[in-house]
A and B are shown apart, each in its own frame.
Chain A
Amino acid sequence: MAAEEGEVRLIGAWPSPFVLRPRVALNLKWVEYEFLQEKFGEKSELLLRSNPVYKKIPVLLHHDKPVCESMIIVEYVDGAWANSGHAILPADTYERALHRFWAFYIDDKWFPSMFGIAKAETEEAKAESAEQAWAGLKLLEEAFEKLSKGKAFFGGDTIGYVDIALGSYLGWAKVIERMTGLKLFDEEKTPLLAVWAGRFCAHEAVKEVMPETEKLME
């Protein structure tokens, strides 16, 4: 669905996993948008005006009205373009609650442990963070089994809310794997997620916007 000129704009930066989320959502809905790349180290006037509370990316501007916070933007895109593409959140009320729960868990608990591996200053700290990250992925593996019902994604046949929440971190997960030699999405520890990770990155709505590991490493 082509948007009118200037109707949909996304303020962001290509390396950010949080920015990736609305990009995947907009792609899933076939929405054309203008991507406004922020300059590194400098926040634009538009960003500061559109997100005065946090001054952070991503910010979606729809007819110049700002929506902030990545998963809130994803849910907004799902609602505003409900008649386009596939539903991102499931129709069933209880399943929706489960998707919201796991997306929150991913940001609140799992991401800090993954990031902890990168930040760790000692081998012990690194190992501890890695253990926490793997334990979290074990929980997510079980969640995947339950939510996917044997299909390709957390959302079933199509990419859903939790896919976007977790999948957006895959670029950085690969960087951490390269830097540390640790395998996060390990076929032995979490076989379903290991396959899912490749599938997510290869998806049409994702592959053009997922940052390349090489570029992130620079």
Chain B
Amino acid sequence: MGEVDTKGVVLLDFWVSPFGQRCRIALAEKGVEYEFREENLGDKSPLLLKSNPVHKKIPVLIHDGKPVCESLIIVQYIDEAWPDCAPLLPADPYARAQARFWADFIDKKIYECGTRLWKLKGEGQAAAKEELIGILKLLEGELGDKKYFGGDAFGFVDIALVPFVSWFYTYETCAGFSIEEAAPKLVAWGKRCMERESVAKTLSDPHKVYEFVGLLKKRFGVE
């Protein structure tokens, strides 16, 4: 990663990105002041290209000129760089391993499956829908009756998943099903998370997400 010339904390991001939102929520939980820079993904800034030459993607957190890339790596970095308040990962190594496992699962599954759900039609979409329901039910099982995935404290797995809550309306509308019916405890968890200022101020309005996906669909020629 190319070191750059910025001071303080800068986040290169894109308004609707759930990956960027993970970082924003983590920074807010820690009370860290930072500069938010919205990237135009059709015309990426020289700063983005220099600080993430490998992937050229957002989000990128730049801390005193040093870039950190990949949203979950950024969240862990934030947790470790500002350790004195709001721990995002548990202290116990086994609990940390479990948190990393579920955050990684969310990372591998949700965005890709959700994207197929709005991009495809017919059988492809139906398959993606069933898969997404399976994923959400599995997560619901892992949540159980806990307040958050980490127990009483809002943490890493919650942060990994919660930005996708504002995409639920889009998934439901595109594929014609109800996530509340399929995974009611998860929807309840989402509402609890929205009571936190860090989450409420960060998540996109679900209708704006739907509009955004509508534009993507036009661009990809999906009807």
Q: Are B77 and A97 in contact (CB under 8 A)?
A: yes
- Closest CB of chain A to B93's CB: distance in Å? 3
The B-contacting residues of A in range 43-90, CB under 8 angstroms, are 53, 62, 65, 67-69, 72-73, 75-76, 79-80, 82
A68 to B54, CA, bound (A): 28
A97-B77, A101-B1 as given contacts; A72 in contact with B100, CB under 8 Å: yes
Known: A80-B94, A101-B70, A104-B70. A69 touches B77 (CB 8 A): no
A residues 74-126 near B (Cβ < 8 Å) are 75-76, 79-80, 82, 93-94, 96-98, 100-101, 104-105
- B73, B93, B101: which contacts A104 (Cβ < 8 A)? B73
Does the CB pair A62–B94 fall under 8 Å? yes
Is the CB–CB distance between B138 and A105 below 8 Å? Answer: no
User: Is A3 among interface residues, defined by CB-CB distance under 8 A?
Assistant: no
User: Shortest beta-carbon distance, A136 to chain B, in Å?
Assistant: 9
Q: How far is the CA of A70 from the CA of B66 in the complex (A)?
A: 28
Contacting B at CB under 8 A, from A150-164, are: none
**What is the CA–CA distance of A213 and B66 in the complex, to the nearest angstrom?**
40
- Which residues of the partner chain A approach B66 to less than 8 Å between Cβ atoms? 94
Interface residues on B, range: 20 to 34
* 8 Å CB contact of A69 from B69, B70, B104: B104
A72-B68 CB under 8 A given contacts A53-B138, A80-B93, A97-B76: no
Q: Which residue of B lies closest to A96 (CB)?
A: B80
In A18-61, the 8 Å CB interface with B consists of 53
In chain A, what residue has the closest Cβ to B92? Answer: A79
A104 to B101, CA, bound (A): 14
Min CB–CB distance A77 → chain B (angstroms) = 9
A139 located at the interface, meaning its Cβ lies under 8 Å from any Cβ of chain B in the complex: yes
Query: For B70, what are the chain A residues with a Cβ–Cβ distance below 8 Å?
Result: 100-101, 104
Contact yes or no, A72 B77, CB < 8 A: no
Interface membership of B137, Cβ < 8 A: no
Given A72-B100, A75-B100, A100:B94 Cβ within 8 A: no
Encoded as 1 (CB less than 8 Å from any A CB) or 0, chain B from 51 to 67 comes to 00010000000010010
Which of B1, B63, B138 has the most chain A CB atoms inside 10 A of its CB? B1
Contact (A79, B104) CB under 8 Å given A97-B73, A97-B77: no
Q: Report the bound CA distance from A72 to B102 in whole Å.
A: 11
User: 1/0 per residue B87-124: CB within 8 Å of A?
Assistant: 00000011011001100110000000000000000000
8 contacts between A and B (CB under 8 A): A67-B94, A67-B97, A72-B104, A79-B93, A79-B96, A80-B94, A94-B68, A101-B1
Going nearest first, the 4 A-B pairs with the smallest beta carbon separation are A79-B93, A76-B97, A97-B77, A93-B80
